[in-house]
Amino acid sequence: MISFRRTRAVFIKECRHILRDVRSLIMALAVPLLMLLLFGFALSLDVDRIPTLIYDADRTAASRELIERLAGSPYFDIKGYVDTYRPIEAGIDRGTVLMGVAIPRDYGKRVAAGDRAEVQILIDGSDSNSAAIAMGYVESLVGNYSFELRSDALSRKAGRRFEPPIDPRLRVWYNSTLQSRNYVVPGLIAVIIMIIAALLTSLTIAREWEMGSMEQLLSTPLRPSELVAGKMFAFFLLGVADMLMAVGVGVLVFGVPLRGSIVLLAGTASVFLFGALFWGIFISAATRSQLMAYQIGLITSFLPAFLLSGFVYAIENMPAPIQVLSHIFPSRYFVTILKGIFLKGVGLEVLWPQALALVIYMAVVFMLATSKLRQRIA
């Protein structure tokens, strides 16, 4: 049975220690804000204003119309016009351009005759993500232009306007502007909170061992569960402050819509925080060294939260063993919850599997932390 009085005493003692260590307190509050602003502005998956060079060997009205389509698109930034392939190759080698468009000499003649007219697209593939997006943009633009030319030719032959058999109309849900910031920032909140919570608590008990104050705590009637709970609740308040600040920055600074329940967000964030804090205490109890606790805490919080949570890289595209491995990390579930609450506005009727996984993780890590601390005491 956990004693509320003893747990409260540890909580008060830890709060006083946090308030006395002003530099650590400032770091705990400033680092999440700095990371969120830095990653939020720098980590963008949007590809627009693609630097492009044009090699027009045809110089006809048809080729100029295609170039005007490219220049009028917000996705392409025409950097210049060249007379050979060499400037395009040099620009791609230097990284000053991402794409080159080469229009052959017989392009206008083939278009006028209704034959197949080819256009060569040269793309820098060293950045595969940007190259794939740029390729999709240019294929869509050229494809639409090609369809217009074909429909005009058929209309002239038939004497009436050619109507396509299928009229696709796209509707994008939840992120209609397709801005990467809207789904990157909620994921960043989970990653940053996981890192800060695990690192803060991973140092606390290790510091007690190194300073020799743990022996004094062990001489008291404190139980391991009371020691873990008291320390955790003190850092939980700090984590809540970080969470509020991160959500505020995401909504007010980055303009990410918050469509779901704030109560559900607060509840799931609290469970996630508990689990991350317990994990840090478990690491701290297992290592007894601040340096080792910091290293293990960083490896087990940052890398899984960044790579295996699905906030940047889709888990469905990963190898099957990695997909299975990702299920043991709580950031995977919390990222899904954050995206569901922020962007989709869904509730617990949809997100209950992820919420249940967070509760199970929190309970398991709490038992591991108290068990490891009990072993150290024995």
Q: Kindly indicate the confidence band of residue 218, based on its pLDDT and cuts at 50, 70 and 90.
A: low
C-alpha to C-alpha distances, 370 to 213, 239, 248, 270, 284, nearest whole angstrom = 18, 21, 34, 20, 11
Question: Lowest-pLDDT range, 81-85, 159-163, 294-298?
Answer: 159-163
- Angstrom CA distances, 172 to 122, 152, 175, 177, 344, stand at 30, 30, 7, 8, 12
Query: Confidence class of residue 214 from pLDDT cuts 50, 70 and 90?
Result: low
pLDDT of 165 over the 70 cut: no
Most confident of 99-108, 125-134, 137-146, 368-377: 99-108
Most confident residue range from 85-94, 102-111, 125-134: 85-94
The Cβ of residue 152 has, within 10 Å, a number of other Cβ atoms equal to: 13
In our burial notation (b when 16+ CB lie closer than 10 A, e otherwise), range 124-142 reads beeeeebbebbeebbeebb
Amino acid at 305: A
Nearest of 224, 308, 321, 305 to residue 272 by alpha carbon: 305
Q: Above pLDDT 70, what percent of the chain? A: 90
The helix/strand/coil state of 286 is helix
pLDDT band per the 50, 70, 90 thresholds, residue 364 = very high
Residue 378 has pLDDT above 80, yes or no: no
Q: Which pLDDT does position 266 carry in this prediction? A: 92
Question: Any idea what DSSP says for residue 260?
Answer: S
pLDDT at 358: 94
Task: Please compute the mean of the pLDDT values over residues 218-230 and round it to a whole number.
Answer: 74
Mean pLDDT of 100-127: 83
Q: What is the pTM of this model?
A: 0.78
- Lowest mean per-residue pLDDT among 275-289, 338-352, 354-368: 275-289
Alpha-carbon span 273 to 229, nearest angstrom:
13
Q: H or E element: which one contains 78?
A: strand 76-82
Within 189-277, strands assigned E span none
Among 347, 354, 37, 333, CA closest to 184 = 37
377: left (phi over 0), alpha (psi -120 to 50) or beta: alpha
